[in-house]
Structure 1
Amino acid sequence: MDMIQNMRVFTRVVESGSFTAAALTFDAAPSAMSRAVTELETHLRVRLLTRSTRSLALTPAGQVYLERCKRILSDIASAEEAVSEAHQRPAGTLRIVSYASIGQHYILPAISKYRSIYPDVRVELTLTQSTPALYAMGADVAIFPASSLSDSEMISHTLGSTRNVLCASPEYVRARGLPNAPSELAMHDCLTLSMPGFPTCEWMFEKSGDTEVVHVDSLLQANIAESLIVAIRNGMGIGALPSYAAVPALKDGSLVRVLPQYSLQKMNIYVLYPAGKFVDARTKTWVSFVRDYVSELITRDEAALQQPVIESLCST
């Protein structure tokens, strides 16, 4: 019996919440994961997990053993790192999970630049429309938007803050006109974007320190910003887009700003990775790089919203 490997399996099963999810990490069958945990329990002569058809739960002994396993595995990883070149030369596979639109607009360009500096690092990028779960998806780093973060075992850094921008097509504006205040949106067709952690059908407007919340009767709801852009361009109505998705279309004139004198609720973009004594060189260098590179891209896009070429489109 490989005790160390079985400890790794047990730890990942608990963190991912199922034998099936853990099996994806090890490229093995769920039955192999179950067998590894059973071998541990037989060796220890104690039950570590309570199993049911739908869930797993740690026993009291399992909770104690899990914490010890984490410390042991962390020490082993540190020992291996200490005698390898990994702490000096990033190499191997970096697994990144990102909210889809952020991944397309910010993370893919960042990966291209990062690999020009660290060519020995391969990248596996997973784009998702839900809040990424590192352990369940076998990822090293997660990047996603949120208004704030709850307490977690992850280390987090803020890459920057963005805001939603109300947009419409020039054709829609010519046919229906522009609202002069948030309350006038009730007379318009509105399109909404579903994002994890943010109310879909409530738009929060801010101006001169005052806040106004407008309930939106959505004609169309999409969960991908790029899809919503298509609907807005086709004149279906007024939609709220993240600034990073809206700026290119505002620059080329295919969309125009609506109510530019108001700011919509801001959201933060975070990069997260597991806490612990050992963080491999790939993760260290990527987090350091993305904090600078993506922060610059966010600042660029937010500044672009203030440029006259974009603001002047509002009078189209």
Structure 2
Amino acid sequence: MDKLSNMSVYVKVVEMGSFTAVANHLDSTVGNVSRAVSALEQMLDTRLLQRSTRRLSVTDAGRRFYDRCTAILADLENAEAEARNALLEPRGTLRVHCVPGLARQLVTAAVLEYRQAFADVSVDLLLSQRMPNLLEDQLDVSIQIARVLPDSAYVSQKIGVSHCVLVASPDYLAQHTPPSAPEDLRDHQCLLLGTVDYARDEWQLKSARGDATFVHTGPHFSVNDMEAMSTAVKRGAGIGLLAGFSAIDDLRSGALVRVLPDYYSEERNVYAVYTSRQFVDAKISRFIEALKTHVGNQLAATAAALVGQ
């Protein structure tokens, strides 16, 4: 028996006053109960109980040890109850990483909705383009956009699908003849989005007519942030590739205009990545459910509006 088990048996012996009573209570044997107490006495080099054929009595050292044991076992029971409850009721601090564009457009709103439902959870939302090390960075969830996630020991759940579309400002298109085919893009200022999952020097486009790849040459402007790209496009700098979730409000308001509206980028999956499939903390599992509801539904609606999916 380990130390904590022996302590638990010893507490029962003091409280019930009999090895036999404790053995019956634990569905064990008198010999096992006696050995548990003896093991503690040998470890402590101290007699805890005075034994006679008729009765047990607790020594002064045994009484002090009993008081300590009851406090330790109560703390352990509380810790176990708290840990079990963490799997049922969201509480504590949830540390979330997200790529910036998606965080600004969709995830921040989902976090606020989540906190309204679970006020006992504090959320730290960290924005970065890079894929973090969840363990080293002490993160609970990372929200990523990728065609395929790299192999890792992490667990992932798909939240939805995102596409990029070509857009420009009305002022830019008023001064330049809008392209009617992908090859016409060579006559335009093309603003390049360079992130982990987007090649900086080419656009791979899809449409019902077929696929097309446009390779950029010559002077250009490039950026690795979707919001900065949106700013550049709206200022009339040229044609840019924007994620549908980033562009759709400006397309609806007229601040941006779709270019080559039959074309869009290959789809990227939006994933929630976390560290373990077993014993997932409730704050994590409920947050992923919230992402599927708030972010996943908006991604689906945007895809339906822009690419017919």
**What's the TM-score once normalised by structure 2's chain length?**
0.70
The residue aligned with 1:284 is: 285
Distance between the aligned counterparts of 1:306 and 1:149, measured in 2?
23
The residue aligned with 2:242 is: 241
Between 262-271 and 129-138, report the one with greater CA deviation: 129-138
Distance between the aligned counterparts of 1:83 and 1:196, measured in 2?
37
The residue aligned with 1:171 is: 171
The residue aligned with 1:266 is: 267
Q: Secondary structure at the match of 1:270?
A: strand
Please give the per-residue CA displacement for 1:12-43, whole angstroms capped at 9, x wherever unaligned. Answer: xxxxxxxxxxxxxxxxxxxxxxxxxxxxxxxx
Distance between the aligned counterparts of 2:205 and 2:192, measured in 1?
15
Distance between the aligned counterparts of 2:287 and 2:81, measured in 1?
17
Please give the per-residue CA displacement for 1:264-313, whole angstroms capped at 9, x wherever unaligned. Answer: 22111110101253221111111122122211111122233269xxxxxx
Q: Secondary structure at the match of 2:85?
A: coil
CA distance 1:209–1:161, shift in 2 (3 Å): farther
Distance between the aligned counterparts of 1:275 and 1:83, measured in 2?
16
Distance between the aligned counterparts of 1:119 and 1:146, measured in 2?
31
CA distance 1:166–1:83, shift in 2 (3 Å): closer
Q: Secondary structure at the match of 2:145?
A: strand
Distance between the aligned counterparts of 2:83 and 2:162, measured in 1?
42
The residue aligned with 2:114 is: 114
Distance between the aligned counterparts of 2:88 and 2:207, measured in 1?
49
CA distance 1:235–1:83, shift in 2 (3 Å): closer
Between 142-151 and 177-186, report the one with greater CA deviation: 142-151
Shift, 1:194, TM fit: 1.4
Q: Secondary structure at the match of 2:171?
A: helix
Distance between the aligned counterparts of 1:176 and 1:209, measured in 2?
24
Residues 1:295 and 2:302 aligned together: no
Between 150-159 and 238-247, report the one with greater CA deviation: 150-159
Tell me the amino acid that sits aligned with residue 264 of structure 1: S
The residue aligned with 1:87 is: 87
Between 90-99 and 259-268, report the one with greater CA deviation: 259-268
Shift, 1:83, TM fit: 5.5
What are structure 2's unaligned runs of at least 5 residues?
1-75
Tell me the amino acid that sits aligned with residue 155 of structure 1: V
The residue aligned with 2:46 is: none
1:132-211 alignment, distance < 5 Å: 132-208=132-208, 210-211=210-211
What are structure 1's unaligned runs of at least 5 residues?
1-75, 308-316
Q: Give the conservation status (yes or no) of the 8 Å contact 1:147–1:267.
A: yes
Distance between the aligned counterparts of 1:180 and 1:125, measured in 2?
41
Distance between the aligned counterparts of 1:128 and 1:181, measured in 2?
35
CA distance 1:132–1:244, shift in 2 (3 Å): farther
Distance between the aligned counterparts of 1:103 and 1:213, measured in 2?
29
User: What percentage of residue pairs aligned between the two structures are identical?
Assistant: 32
Distance between the aligned counterparts of 1:99 and 1:81, measured in 2?
36
CA distance 1:278–1:234, shift in 2 (3 Å): same
Between 283-292 and 187-196, report the one with greater CA deviation: 283-292
Residues 1:212 and 2:245 aligned together: no
Shift, 1:150, TM fit: 2.8
Q: Give the conservation status (yes or no) of the 8 Å contact 1:81–1:87.
A: no
Shift, 1:135, TM fit: 2.1
